[in-house]
Structure 1
Amino acid sequence: MKLAILVVDGVFDTGLTVLLDIFSTANELASAQGIAAPLFNVEVVGVGRSVRTALGLTATVEPADQVRKPDWVVVPALNAKQPERLIEALARKDVLDAIAHLRTWHASGISVAGACIGTFMLAEAGLLNDREATTSWPLAPLFRQRYPSVKLDDSRMIVAGDRLVTAGAAMGHLDLALWLVRQASPEMAALVAKLMVIDKRPSQAKYIVPNFLANADPLVERFERWARAHLATGFSLQDAARALSVTPRTLQRRTEAVLGKSPLAFFQDMRVERAQHLVALGQDLETIASEVGYAESATLRNLLRRRTGRTVRELKADLQ
């Protein structure tokens, strides 16, 4: 499989090296098993002949307009974690040139993948319009605002479609690389994961910090503060809207636009976050249930299992 890793100045060093290390490890293991040809032929490409990474390292790259047709183009993240910085970066000439190459490559039949903030470049190219995708969860509010036609589900770690794949935040580069290895050899992907001690992460939902997302919008931030104060008493859309001096419809629409979920779903996220914190402190489940608004601990137990994929016992064991 021929891969072109498309980089621009300010590329996230870890994202780039994770991709290179995974594909290199797969090739080494294949060679050790007597497979003559490498599984992956990898080129690092850019709009010029060199790029400077976010940590200041200079890397020589193959000019994108000279690259022979790859099977996949993979876009690692820019190291622009704040919305303002990312918007500025997306307007740079080198980034715009790279986006133009993505459009041309995809139109010619080449498959395209992006991880973390790299997914913004796919969206800027229009490749994700009317498609399902994921992205770096801290920047999901900006993604929804900037690309309303994309069907974003930031709880997922990998979203694979027809010749397009997106992966979640930061270490989503690992998941994307393993997904690509799996396309060449499922057995090799499993071996690479074991050798490099990589756990399965089908979802990034458990990593999402609700109040971090709420800070993206003043009304949602106020709703988040109201909700935390009312975890024990339960949720009422009418009461929340009244306290915030807006209509229920306005609150509903704003949380959907910013968070991609209803006020009730966001309230449930905060319940789960609070419950996990109290589990970490060693409190019993009955006390925790009362603090987050449940009369029965069994209801909370089921919610935690559904949202985290872990039992209470497993959550406790993770913290030991």
Structure 2
Amino acid sequence: MKIFILALDGVFDTGLTVLLDALRLAHKFAAQQMGGALTFEVSIVGMRKKIKTSHGLAIPVQGIMPDVKPDWVIVPALNTGSPETLIPALGRRDVRQGMEQLRKWHAEGAHIAASCIGTFLLAEAGLLDGGEATTTWWLAPLFRQRYPNILLDETRMLVPWGRIVTAGAAMGHLDLALWLVRKYSPELAAVVSRYLLADFRSSQAPYIIPNHLAQADPVIQRFERWARDHLKEGFSLAEAAGALATSPRTLQRRCQAVLGKSPLSYFQDLRVERARSLIQGSSLDLDTIAAEVGYVDGTTLGTLLRERLGRGVRELRADLR
């Protein structure tokens, strides 16, 4: 299997190296265990002969050869972790050239993958139009607003859609590499993950910080502040909208546009975040914590924690040991 990693100037060092390490480890073990029946031939390609990573390391890059067709093309993230740096980067000449090449490869039948901010390149190139995706969670509001015709779910670590797969933030590059190996050999993926001490993760939800998402929109910021002051109370959309001097419809629309969820769902996110903080930072029993965040008993809260985070109270407290 021929894999191209499309590396552009300012590539995120960890994203690039973790892809290389995981895939080359898979290639090594495939040769040992499968007698060469499965190979992972990885090449770093780009629009220039040499690029520099975000830490300034020079990386030699193979040029694009029209007669060489990849099976997979992977786009690692650029180290542009804020809208102020990302949006200008999407307009760079080499980035636009990379997008055009991605469209060509896809039209020729290649599978395309990206992680973290690399997913923005696929969206900007139009390859995700009408489809599903995930991305780095803290830039989900920007992604959702910039590409409204893409169904985004930033709680998921990996989202396959057709011949394209997107992965989540930062170390999502490793999840993406392991997913690709597992697609062809689950046994091989298990070996690679054990060598790298890496577990398969299906969700970004436990890592999302709700107030970071709120900063993308002034209405949501004000709603977040109001919500934190009312976690013990039952949620009322009309009361929240009134406190913000807006209409329930406007608040509902802004939450959906920025966060991809209802005001009530975001309110519950904040309750979960506060509950997790109390579980991990205090010795309070679960019923007391439930009362602090507006639930009648610990059982209800425990169910919500497991639904949202995939872990219960015992696991959350074990994380600190």
TM-score by length of 2: 0.97
The one-letter code matched in structure 1 to 2:185 is S
The amino acid of 1:139's aligned partner reads: L
Q: Structure 1 pair 67/43, CA: closer, same or farther in 2 (3 Å)?
A: farther
Note if contact 2:23-2:177 (Cα within 8 Å) is conserved in structure 1. yes
Aligned partner letter, 2:48? G
Aligned to 1:138: 138
Please, which moves more after superposition, 81-90 or 182-191? 182-191
Distance in 2 of aligned mates of 1:2 and 1:247: 54
| Mapping 1:54-203, distance limit 5 Å | 54-66=54-66, 68-203=68-203
Which amino acid counterpart does residue 143 of structure 1 have in structure 2? F
* Larger CA deviation: 4-13 vs 305-314: 305-314
Q: Distance in 1 between matches of 2:262 and 2:280?
A: 27
Output aligned runs, 1:226-245, within 5 Å.
Answer: 226-245=226-245
Q: State the AA in 1 paired with 2:160.
A: A
2:103 and 2:66 map into 1 onto residues whose CA distance is 16
Partner of 1:50: 50
Matched with 2:5 is 5
Distance between the aligned counterparts of 1:287 and 1:121, measured in 2? 46
Partners of 1:299 and 1:223 in 2: CA distance: 24
Alpha-carbon displacement from aligned partner over 1:199-220 (angstroms, at most 9, x marks no partner): 1210001100000000110000
Q: Deviations over 1:218-259 (max 9, x none)?
A: 000000000000001121100000000000000000011011
2:315 — aligned with what? Answer: 314
Flag structure 2 segments of 5+ consecutive residues without an equivalent. none
- Looking at structure 2, the residues matched to 250 and 154 of structure 1 have their Cα atoms a distance apart, in angstroms, of 23
Residues 172 and 194 of structure 1: is their aligned pair in 2 closer, same or farther, counting only changes over 3 Å? Answer: same
Is contact 1:210-1:270 (8 Å) kept? Answer: yes
8 Å contact kept, 1:47–1:65: no
Q: 2: CA distance between counterparts of 1:203 and 1:124? A: 24
Aligned residues: 320
Mapped partners of 1:209, 1:185: distance in 2: 34
2:294 corresponds to which residue? Answer: 293
1:15 corresponds in structure 2 to: 15
Structure 1 residue runs without a partner (length 5+):
none
Paired-residue identity, %: 60
| Residues 144, 258 of structure 1: 8 Å contact kept | yes
* Cα deviation 1:22-63 (Å, max 9, x = unaligned): 011112222333623662011100011111110001111111
> What root-mean-square deviation, in Å, do the aligned CA atoms of Structure 1 and Structure 2 show?
1.1
- Structure 1: how far apart are the matches of 2:313 and 2:280? 10
Following superposition, the deviation at residue 184 of structure 1 comes to 2.1
User: Is residue 220–residue 255 contact of structure 2 (8 Å, CA) maintained in 1?
Assistant: yes
1:162 CA drift (Å): 1.2
**Which deviates the most, 239-248 or 186-195?**
186-195
State whether residues 39 and 184 of structure 1, in contact with CA within 8 Å, keep that contact through their aligned partners in structure 2. no
Q: 2:310, 2:119 → 1: CA distance?
A: 26
TM-score (norm: length of structure 1): 0.98
User: Aligned AA for 1:130?
Assistant: G
Q: CA offsets per residue over residues 145-180 of structure 1, 9 Å max, x none? A: 111100000000000121100000000001100111
| Worse-superposed segment, 178-187 or 115-124 | 178-187
Q: CA shift at 1:182, angstroms?
A: 1.0
